[in-house]
Structure 1
């Protein structure tokens, strides 16, 4: 049977979702950019580099030919790092003969333009239907059929519900949401806070510290998100606090692991090298910092992580700065809305 789904990206997440779809009976073409990696996966029927000990069934066709991976497909799943999204689209967009649905699972912001992935897609493929799948979903667990819940967001309800049906299984629950902006920002910006959570762990701090960091982090994210047009309620959902929790607490999280290394004294370059995979939060920290300035939103945690990553600031001094900021109400909006004088 001719494949109807093309998965672009042979990393852990692209492989895990290709496996999920194949196990539902779909024929899947999985595009792997690196030819050596592609050939190994074909022979071993395993992605040993990114997702070891998980066998890939025969209805996943592994290919290095991006034209083959997209030709005639009803769904194209974009599972490349966010900084490679535009480049990847440029490689295949001339090959599209029909109008597939583009499903994005990258979590990041284009650093040079400060655009979300949906905005990049709008520029490169203005007539295509777009959906993002996001939420607390480590590839290592999804590939082993561990119960997981995510959200599919699209401005088109019919498209969101169609993607929900395609991906949903008894172990992979998919909700829908019309708030593409909120879902994209939640998935991207939580990686910044996860770097901070890792730094906290690397410094030897405890659960109190990380809980405070996560809580104040989601407040930063939601304030910026609302200013950019998102619904603040989205940040209480799977792509907001849900994804933040899993990324800040799990050792599956590359961002947390990189942060741990930095907290222990490693340089940024050493931390990234030790992970051996893309650490999305590094680029996203720069983008988030620039967005906070553009929209005039105070994001003190993001500002301090930016200082550590890009200005060589000492992590302990950054912690001191956060703890000794000017005294604040916990929820300044409540005091303002209720006009309290106490």
Structure 2
């Protein structure tokens, strides 16, 4: 990463809640620069050591974290890039990076989504736009505000090379934030995209007043559903029972701070998806991923009833009542080898 013995400079691109939280973790380990579009947020981070817009006034950021709105400064400083921008802006930011970034700088994505139109995972976009740069993802059951407030949590860093993953993982560790490693980039990325769709399904259930047993059933079958597609794409089965799969699914489906669960609850209250999105100040990646997931399901010939019903509500005018009726109409079969809900 660097030719001398200085600490590598981590550059986090994006000023949202999770990008800022990861930047604060990295800043406790070594020099960290955060690129943020908003000059107001830059001042808030640098002068007040807060990102009040996304993390509130109570979360103090380390004084070693510095922010800038100068993209060229951030790109030139980077020994490691952390991408905290949403999926719809990911390619554009990488395109700007391509003009400035030194060769071979690793790129770690924080995005749990897929690119609409191409159906590409974020690491695939990095490979296309920044060839030669190792690309991976940091993911897990991480509600940003809780991590920022110091609650114990864990994530998995997926990079194509195990040694590189092990070397980078230390930058994302604190006493209360445990970072594991894997080389299953595809599995972690697809798990991150899918769990958001299933959190919308669970949120719709909360709005309908379904019981705890029903929620547990939906979440358990969601793990199986994501495993089938993930393995078809090239992921490893164990990934979907781990932090990026089951772990992230549990917290995203159950936490009241979950954006995607919130979308499901709002859909269940009768609000149209456009109104829900307009009322949010951060992206719920499951909304964009739903249609992409169904294209994958068709491509690989996999029946995905839960994802199908979420897509029907978001993109095809179905109601949440229709969705749950559709799920219960599926006839159960073999738990592991069956193709239905």
Matched, 1:244 2:256: no
**Pair 1:31-2:31 in alignment:** no
The match for 1:44 among 30, 45, 48 is 48
Between the aligned partners of 2:211 and 2:55, the Cα distance in structure 1 is 30
> 1:142 — aligned with what?
147
Q: Does 1:279 align with 2:284?
A: yes
Give the equivalent residue in structure 2 for 1:337. Answer: none
Match of 2:331, SS state, is coil
CA contact (8 A) 1:109 1:188 kept: yes
2:207 to 202, 220, 225: 202
Q: Give the unaligned 5+ runs of structure 2.
A: 1-5
* Shift, 1:333, TM fit: 5.9
Mark the CA change 1:3 to 1:158 in structure 2 (over 3 Å): closer, same or farther: closer
- Whole-angstrom CA distance in 2 between matches of 1:262 and 1:124: 36
Question: Equivalent residue for 1:60?
Answer: 65
Residue of structure 1 equivalent to 2:178: 173
Kept after mapping to 1: 8 A contact 2:87/2:113: yes
CA apart distance, 1:41: 3.9
Residues 80, 105 of structure 2: 8 Å contact kept: yes
Please tell me whether the aligned partners of residues 83 and 108 of structure 1 are also in contact (alpha carbons under 8 angstroms).
no
Aligned to 1:129: 134
Q: 2:318 aligns with which of 313, 319, 322?
A: 313
Matched residues in 2 for 1:143 and 1:122: separation?
A: 31
Q: Offset of 1:40 from its aligned partner?
A: 4.3
SS in structure 1 opposite 2:107? strand
Counterpart contact for 2:11–2:77, Cα < 8 Å: no
Q: Deviations over 1:168-208 (max 9, x none)?
A: 22111111111111111111110000000101001111211
- Partner of residue 84, structure 1: 89
Q: Is the 8 A contact 1:258 1:275 kept in 2?
A: no
Contact kept, 8 Å, 1:194 with 1:247, in 2: the verdict is: yes
Give the SS at the match of 1:332.
coil
Task: Provide the TM-score with structure 1 as the length reference.
Answer: 0.93
| Paired residue secondary structure (1:126) | coil
Aligned to 1:257: 262
- Inter-partner Cα distance in structure 2 for 1:310 and 1:31: 34
Q: Distance in 1 between matches of 2:110 and 2:48?
A: 26
Residue aligning to 2:240: 235
What is the rounded CA distance, in whole Å, between the counterparts of 1:257 and 1:167 in structure 2? 28
- 1:332 pairs, out of 334, 337, 340, with 337
Q: Post-superposition shift, 1:12?
A: 0.3
Q: State the match for 2:3 in structure 1.
A: none
Aligned residue-pair number: 333
**Equivalent-residue separation in structure 1 for 2:45 and 2:185 (angstroms):** 34
Per-residue deviation, residues 70-126 of structure 1 (Å, max 9, x unmatched): 213211111111221111101121111342111111110111101111110110111
| Cα pair 1:3 1:29 within 8 Å, conserved | no
1:191 is aligned to 2:202: no
- Measure, in 2, the Cα distance between the counterparts of 1:260 and 1:282: 13
Distance 2:118 2:286 in 1: 16
